[in-house]
Amino acid sequence: MMRPETEAALAECVRGARGPLCITGGGTRQALGNPVTGEALSVAGLSGITLYDPGALTLVAQAGTPLAEVEEALAAEGQMLPFEPMDHRAVLGTSGAPTVGGMVACNVSGPRRIQAGACRDSLIGIRFVNGAGAVIRNGGRVMKNVTGYDLVKLLAGSHGTLGVLTEVAFKVLPRPETCLALRIGGLDDAGAVAAMTVALGSPCEANGLVHLSGPAETWIRLEGFADALKVRAGKLAALLKTRCGVSAEIVEAGPARAAFEGFRDLAWAAGRPGDLWRLSVRPSDGPALAARLRAAGAGEIVFDWGGGLLWALAPEGTDLRPALAGPGHATLLRAGPETRRALGAFQPEAPAIAAISKALRARFDPRGILNPGRMG
Amino acid sequence: MDMPIPDASILTRKPQIVARLEAVLPPGAVISDPMETRAYECDGLTAYRCQPLAAVLPASTAEVAAVLRICHEEGVPVVPRGSGTSLAGGAMPTADSVILGVARLNAVLETSYDDRYIRVQTGRTNLSVTGAVEADGFFYAPDPSSQLACAIAGNIGMNSGGAHCLKYGVTTNNLLGVTLVLMDGSVVELGGAHLDAAGYDLLGVVCGSEGQLGVVTEATLRILPKPEGARPIMLGFDSNEVAGACVADIIRAGVLPVAIEFMDRPCIRACEAFVHAGYPDVEALLIVEVEGSEEEIASQLARIRAIAERHAPSELRESASAEQSALIWKGRKAAFGAMGQINDYMCLDGTIPVSALPMVLRRIEEMSAQYGLKVANVFHAGDGNMHPLILFDANQPGDLEKCEALGADILCLCVEVGGCLTGEHGVGVEKRDLMSVQFSPDDLSAQMDVKDVFDPGWLLNPAKVFPLAASETRRAGRAS
């Protein structure tokens, strides 16, 4: 394994590569996407927060910096990464320390994504090494920047196929003083999505909306200053009563926080057999999709993002994509290499888009050595 | 301002090109009479003008595709145009180009409150998107100052923001999907009403690409429930440093205002003389606005007041009524008009890390003295987006050139302290030649690689964004 300690050394590794490279950080998300074989190139040696300006809400870190280190530094200043990145370790059965580079390469977000945006929305600057070994900088460390093309977005979620990230810069936000949740029991999928839709359509700023279809539990999280939060929760509970006829129980900060950490990391699916699918649709299409997924063999289904994100456990090798039947996309989050190879981890792209993606890869990685095949 | 020499073979083929365009568009949608194309000779950056070969106003995605197909076959450059409010010359034509205006594409196609999106044609103005949903309690968040006039197409082209983007983000954070017509006339859909499609974030790179990758004809936009209320507090300080420190402390205390506006003394005086908003005569003025329910507003303002008092403000005025709120905002909203009353001015658009604010203001003051031109500052302090206004006399020979030189120095200073050349206006032609201050040749090359993929012939808005020397060989490739 190559493990350079500097950006220049990393660029040298890429320039000198004679075959495919398999890019790794902490190794916790290697199982995402299509399987890749190649010589391992680790960015873990590029580690450390290079700039943190709490008054400007910006943080810059080398790509191999453990995410935990960044989160600790932010917490010490009462700040956070707004998109609440999920930890894939439990559900993928991996170990090691998730890095900020891996998180960006996979565009990893959590429940707060519905209100605060995805990882890519908080990412404001990058440095990366392209497939020719050139160091490229894009964006910067200020949150408003329209100077040239936004390659920052293009690289977020590109799974290392357009360049090896060496440094990432984020817009961060103040960490809310506290949180609480409303818990509603006994709703079916349609009823739960209706309740979550009412919450998202109200000015209450709900920022975590999850429905577990198995135990029929619906959770709505609110965050803010403690005094204002109580009032807001009361208003939302009353609104849900009037509009949906449901009664909500208020869950205090400690258990609410624990519950959402579990939802974020898919604790319910950890260690259970079967393939795990991630499907994104309009929230109003969620309940009908869930019914079709069950008909296609899916077992447990959990809704996030107010009903627009569905997680489904299915027997190994079952293709759930035909159940989509409308706008949306499905990703195979967890499956064996054979299934990922056979079904493809990502939603197939329309031919015109696939041609653009292929041409971009050819430009950024002319020798086709960066995680080849990871995204098709 | 250098522009490429117009292609003589295109100019001589004008009648044929116009005839082909007229054949695929309804009567009146092709404008080729030089008397009428004059309306398209510039955008909001009026210092640079050039009449286009023709202007077309298609009314559907199919018509846009037909126009592009013809221009592609004829090798004619196309300059997309929203409402023409660009301040960076992004929609300025060349003599051998066709202006493609989207003004007739202005319909609302679909609204879903349950899924919180609206799909519109992109000639629709920014404010009218909110207008279409506000009766039902929703709004479209990005709010550029030109929102009454500017089109969604231009907002996407420039990745526009506004005063409220500290909380709500800019266009890219509120754009869910687009219908994009490529230069060869093919139509692709990127993103949609569902979130985070897998694959490369092409939507993210199209947003902010200044009309160089394709023409966006339809857009799916995120809409949000309106907050229950909003209220500003006005804070005056005797020094820019203290005002800057107060901004940082507010943010670090966990309060997230929807807007933090900063005005310096020259700006405050000009605004006060213009609209009599009752502003104090101080070195720096902050307007901080928070939103939420009445209880939440009161609680946030109490926190801000406590922080501000630690910095001994010479003025602290919390709005107690809608009238007082309007008055506090009145001067700020009139800032550009107020400066225009006094002098001609050039409005810059650079971004800096907020922590560098006091130093940058001090340096601007020094440069202003060196050049002998006054500079007034008003900006979005929450996100570091500055708008220094350089006052000059357009009738004084040499003043414009001096003003441009000072402007370039200020923008280079922004880059030097870790900021960037443009926070919301875009590069266009205005800042094209400064790009190599911020980017290395490799950085620029990576961006131009993307253009090569979407528009291999470099026909869409070709002489913008990248320094002409840097893009020369790629642009020349189109002749072959």
CATH number for B186: 3.30.465.10
Using CA atoms, how far apart are residues B156 and B210, in angstroms rounded to an integer? 8
Q: Assess whether pLDDT exceeds 60 at residue A182.
A: yes
Domain holding B238, by residue range, is: 230-336
Q: Assess whether pLDDT exceeds 80 at residue A316.
A: yes
In the stretch 92-121 of chain B, residues with CB closer than 8 A to chain A read 112-116
Helix pair B265-275, B322-333: axis angle to 10 deg:
120
Residue A54: closest C-alpha in chain B: B252
Residue in B113, B197, B299 nearest the CB of A201: B113
- Tell me the CATH number at B33: 3.30.43.10
In the stretch 376-395 of chain B, residues with CB closer than 8 A to chain A read 380, 383-385
Same domain, B113 and B216: yes
In a domain, B3, yes or no: no
CB-CB neighbors (< 8 A) of A310 in chain B: none
A157 and B208 within 8 Å at the Cβ level: the answer is no
Using CA atoms, how far apart are residues B443 and B445, in angstroms rounded to an integer? 5
Average pLDDT of chain B is 94
In a domain, B307, yes or no: yes
**Phi-psi map region of A49: left, alpha, beta (phi>0 left; psi -120 to 50 alpha):** beta
Residue A148: closest C-alpha in chain B: B465
Using CA atoms, how far apart are residues B431 and A335, in angstroms rounded to an integer? 49
Using CA atoms, how far apart are residues A35 and A21, in angstroms rounded to an integer? 12
Same domain, B202 and B235: no
CB-CB neighbors (< 8 A) of B419 in chain A: 140, 142
Same domain, B124 and B182: yes
Overall average pLDDT of the A242-254 stretch = 97
Residue in B227, B442, B453 nearest the CB of A135: B442
Domain boundary among B66, B101, B136: B101
Same domain, B253 and B202: no
- Calculate ∠ Cα B181-B187-B193, nearest 5°: 95
CB-CB neighbors (< 8 A) of A78 in chain B: 252-254
Token pair 């609209």 in the structure block, residue: B275
A303's enclosing H/E stretch is strand A301-304
In a domain, B21, yes or no: yes
The tokens describing A352, both together, are 């015109």
Same domain, B46 and B64: yes
Same domain, B397 and B448: no
Task: Quick: pLDDT tens for B92-105.
Answer: 999 999 999 999 99
Using CA atoms, how far apart are residues B176 and A208, in angstroms rounded to an integer? 20
Is pTM, for the whole model, over 0.95? yes
Using CA atoms, how far apart are residues B115 and B111, in angstroms rounded to an integer? 9
Average pLDDT of chain A is 97
Task: Quick: pLDDT tens for B227-266.
Answer: 999 999 999 999 988 998 899 899 888 888 998 999 999 9
Q: Assess whether pLDDT exceeds 90 at residue A222.
A: yes
Give the minimum alpha-carbon distance from A171 to chain B in angstroms, rounded to a whole number: 10
CB-CB neighbors (< 8 A) of B200 in chain A: 154, 157-158, 162, 356-357, 360, 375
Which pLDDT value is given to residue B480? 38
Q: Assess whether pLDDT exceeds 70 at residue A63.
A: yes
Give the minimum alpha-carbon distance from A40 to chain B in angstroms, rounded to a whole number: 23
Using CA atoms, how far apart are residues B48 and A108, in angstroms rounded to an integer? 44
In the stretch 311-340 of chain B, residues with CB closer than 8 A to chain A read none
Same domain, B68 and B166: no
Helix pair A189-200, A286-295: axis angle to 10 deg:
150
Task: Quick: pLDDT tens for A114-154.
Answer: 999 999 999 999 999 999 999 999 999 998 999 999 999 99
B194 and A201 within 8 Å at the Cβ level: the answer is no
Same domain, B198 and B217: yes
In the stretch 184-223 of chain B, residues with CB closer than 8 A to chain A read 186, 188-190, 192-205, 207-209
Which pLDDT value is given to residue A341? 93
CB-CB neighbors (< 8 A) of B173 in chain A: 117, 121
Q: Assess whether pLDDT exceeds 50 at residue B479.
A: no
Domain boundary among B225, B248, B270: B225
A78 and B252 within 8 Å at the Cβ level: the answer is yes
Task: Quick: pLDDT tens for B136-161.
Answer: 999 999 999 889 999 999 999 999 98
User: Cβ distance A160 to A101 under 8 Å?
Assistant: no
Antiparallel, parallel or unpaired: β A21-24 and A39-42: parallel
User: Cβ distance B293 to A235 under 8 Å?
Assistant: yes
Which pLDDT value is given to residue B182? 98
Q: Does A299 touch chain B (CB under 8 A)?
A: no
Find which of A141, A149, A159 to mutate to test the B interface (most B CBs within 10 Å of its CB).
Answer: A149
The pLDDT-based confidence of B478 (bands split at 50, 70, 90) is low
In a domain, B423, yes or no: no
Q: Which of A207, A201, A196, A198 has the alpha carbon at shortest distance from A303? A: A196
Which pLDDT value is given to residue B312? 96
In a domain, B430, yes or no: no
In the stretch 19-58 of chain B, residues with CB closer than 8 A to chain A read none
Which pLDDT value is given to residue A126? 98
In the stretch 280-309 of chain B, residues with CB closer than 8 A to chain A read 292-293, 295-296, 299-300, 303
Using CA atoms, how far apart are residues A229 and A34, in angstroms rounded to an integer? 43
- Which carries the bigger pLDDT value, residue B358 or residue A256? A256
Query: What ipTM was predicted for this assembly?
Result: 0.97
Overall average pLDDT of the A12-17 stretch = 98
A224 and B296 within 8 Å at the Cβ level: the answer is yes
Using CA atoms, how far apart are residues B164 and B143, in angstroms rounded to an integer? 7
* Total tally of structural domains belonging to chain B: 5
Least confident span in A35-49, A60-74, B292-306: B292-306
Give the minimum alpha-carbon distance from B185 to chain A in angstroms, rounded to a whole number: 12
Q: Using the 8-state DSSP alphabet, how is residue A99 labeled? A: B
Overall average pLDDT of the B417-441 stretch = 96
Q: Does A157 touch chain B (CB under 8 A)?
A: yes
Secondary-structure breakdown of chain A: helix, strand, coil percentages, each rounded to the nearest 5: 35, 25, 40
Task: Quick: pLDDT tens for A72-106.
Answer: 999 999 999 999 999 999 999 999 999 999 999 99
Query: What is the full DSSP assignment across B124-186?
Result: SBHHHHHHHHGGGTEE-----TTTTT-BHHHHHHHT---TTHHHH--HHHHEEEEEEE-TTS-
Using CA atoms, how far apart are residues B152 and B171, in angstroms rounded to an integer? 9
Overall average pLDDT of the A144-168 stretch = 97
Domain boundary among B416, B431, B462: B416
Same domain, B264 and B174: no
In a domain, B33, yes or no: yes
Which pLDDT value is given to residue B166? 84
Same domain, B249 and B205: no
A228 and B299 within 8 Å at the Cβ level: the answer is yes
B73's enclosing H/E stretch is helix B61-74
Q: Does B167 touch chain A (CB under 8 A)?
A: no
CB-CB neighbors (< 8 A) of B422 in chain A: 145-147
Q: Does A353 touch chain B (CB under 8 A)?
A: yes
Task: Quick: pLDDT tens for B199-233.
Answer: 999 999 999 999 999 999 999 999 999 999 999 99
Same domain, B84 and B159: no
B197 and A347 within 8 Å at the Cβ level: the answer is yes
A147 and B435 within 8 Å at the Cβ level: the answer is yes
Which pLDDT value is given to residue A30? 92
Give the minimum alpha-carbon distance from B354 to chain A in angstroms, rounded to a whole number: 5
Q: Does B461 touch chain A (CB under 8 A)?
A: no
Give the minimum alpha-carbon distance from A161 to chain B in angstroms, rounded to a whole number: 10
Same domain, B58 and B22: yes
Q: Assess whether pLDDT exceeds 70 at residue B21.
A: yes
In a domain, B424, yes or no: no
In a domain, B234, yes or no: yes
Secondary-structure breakdown of chain B: helix, strand, coil percentages, each rounded to the nearest 5: 40, 20, 40
